[in-house]
Amino acid sequence: MGGTDFIIGCVGKPSAGKSTFFNAATEGSNAKVGNFPFTTINPNEGIGFFLTDCPCTNNPECQCSPRYGRCLNGRRFVPVKLLDVAGLIPGAHEGRGLGNKFLDDLRHADVLMHVIDVSGTTNEKGETTIGYDASQDHAWLMEEMQLWIFNNLWSRWASIARRQKATNSSLVLTFSQQFSGYGAQQPLIETVLRTFDARLRKGPAVSAEPTKYEEDWEPRNLGNDLTAWDKERVMELVKVFVELRFPFVLVLNKCDVGGDADRNVMKISEKFTNQPLVMCSALAECFLQKMKQQKYVLYEAGDCTFYTRADADDKFCMMDEATREKARKLKPVDDKNASRLEKIKDMVIYRYGSSGVHEAIRAAVTRLGNRVPVYPVRHWNTTGSKGANLYAECLLVPRNTR
């Protein structure tokens, strides 16, 4: 598929618009959608796109024929793996709803996009309501993840502690074995323990972001005897683990629905100051893609505007002549769809700059160590060859990778 070695998961409660977001992001997937709980049962897998400027615009003598994804007018669509998992409700860690399945599915993801119904028109179970406080959703989702992992760990704690003491194993090795089922490798576990140790020493305000510590670090505040740990200490460790293992982007979906959207956006931004927020209307993106396929609009994923045939005849509509000529060839839009398009333009495009779908993917990729696109070549002398397809491959790697 290309150079992505990570998976982006779409999570959230039922009926928040997860599957609609997934369909919009993957441009043609057919994830089942509906205004009722648990529309998604089995996880949907698909390919979305990270949008970035392609360097081919600065090197017109070279070809640009991507092996994966595409390049459109100097904008590169780099494929990334997406996973849409079953909806989560409070009590999932106890098996309510599809909780166990949801929690087991999400462990395969490297970063999570929490799709939140910011309009407040669905409650915590995904049922239709009015005035729901959407700022609660991320808090209880995090709590469910924490309790799921904690219960799995605490149920075996006595055995884990005895074995660690008998073998004199390090904390890093012991917890690497216990957390490996959640996709955690030893370097992450070391960072988790260092962060947890620092919090015990300095207080909970210590950042859970990966930090460089001295090489001779020892768990001064943790001790090396797990039999002395109580439930509260184990739970606090799990909280740090979840913070570091599952970075989040909060996708504030249905921002154009009305209801209590503005109030909920404000509350969420004040409550989760360390989480990236993206305003989004997945349904608007799906509709624009559909209208494009049916040749009613000129639109590309991530665009900050779109054009109809009526725009081609509007001398006040700013577009170049080539675009205007293409717009003249579009089908005329009927009144019903024209009204819907106008609403999307007013409530989404003009207010937020785009539908937000691809901005969410960009934010998710950035959360994974601030990844940047690179274009590898097999031989260095290829870079000077006229007509060479220099940009066939695009990899998203952490910044400063050598």
pLDDT tens digits for range 198-213:
888 776 555 555 445 4
CATH of segment(s) 148-243 = 1.10.8
SS3 210: coil
Which two three-digit tokens encode residue 5?
């070695």
% the chain with pLDDT above 90: 57
CA neighbor of 14 nearest in space, from 84, 73, 78:
84
- pLDDT of 42 higher than 60: no
128: left (phi over 0), alpha (psi -120 to 50) or beta: beta
Q: Best-predicted range by mean pLDDT among 18-32, 55-69, 191-205, 355-369?
A: 355-369
- The answer to whether 44 touches 120, Cβ cutoff 8 Å, is no
What is the pLDDT averaged over residues 240-264? 94
- Separation between Cα atoms, residue 39 and residue 24, nearest integer Å: 16
What is the pLDDT averaged over residues 352-357? 96
Q: Which residues pair with 71 in a beta bridge?
A: 76
Using a 10 angstrom Cβ sphere, with 0-12 exposed, 13-18 middle and 19 or more buried, the burial of residue 116 is buried
- pLDDT of 98 higher than 90: no
- pLDDT of 41 higher than 50: no
Read off φ and ψ for residue 97, nearest 5 degrees: 60, -130
- The answer to whether 388 touches 382, Cβ cutoff 8 Å, is yes
- pLDDT of 242 higher than 80: yes
Comparing 43-52, 85-94, 220-229, the range with the smallest average pLDDT is 85-94
What stretches of 120-228 show up as alpha helix (H) in DSSP? Answer: 136-154, 157-167, 171-179, 186-202
Break the chain into its structural domains and give their ranges: 148-243, 282-354
Q: What band does 37 get if pLDDT is binned at 50, 70 and 90? A: very low
Q: What is the mean pLDDT of the chain?
A: 85
Angle at 302 between CA 120 and CA 57, to 5 degrees: 160
- Start-to-end C-alpha separation, the chain: 22
